[in-house]
Amino acid sequence: MSESGEQYLLELWERNICPNCGRQVPAGQRVGSGQKSRGGFCSLDCYASFYQVELAERARRVAEAIKKRQES
């Protein structure tokens, strides 16, 4: 993610706003990776939606690694 994207996520973290849907994140209910630079979300659905492409790529790489291991 670009530096400006991380800055955007940090700003929303400080304001308790979900970067995916724009709703206010209730105190103590923020979800995500735990890294401020990766954002804080109001729900796991919003987190998954925001990072859908990245998560799909990670899942693909894991599946490939498992397949390679089974073939050897």
pLDDT, tens digit (0-9, with 9 covering 90-100), for 5-23: 899 999 999 999 999 999 9
**Distance from chain centroid for Cα 52:** 8
Domain interval for residue 9: 3-71
Dihedral of CA atoms 58, 62, 29, 20 in degrees, nearest 10, equals 20
Tokens standing for residue 14:
């400080």
pLDDT at 3 over 80: no
Q: Give pLDDT, residue 1.
A: 58
Which tens digit of pLDDT belongs to each residue from 29-42?
A: 999 998 999 999 99
Quick one: which of 5, 25, 2, 1 has its CA closest to 14?
25
pTM of the complete model? 0.73
Q: How many domains does the chain have?
A: 1
| Distance in angstroms (rounded) separating the CA atoms of residues 10 and 29 | 17
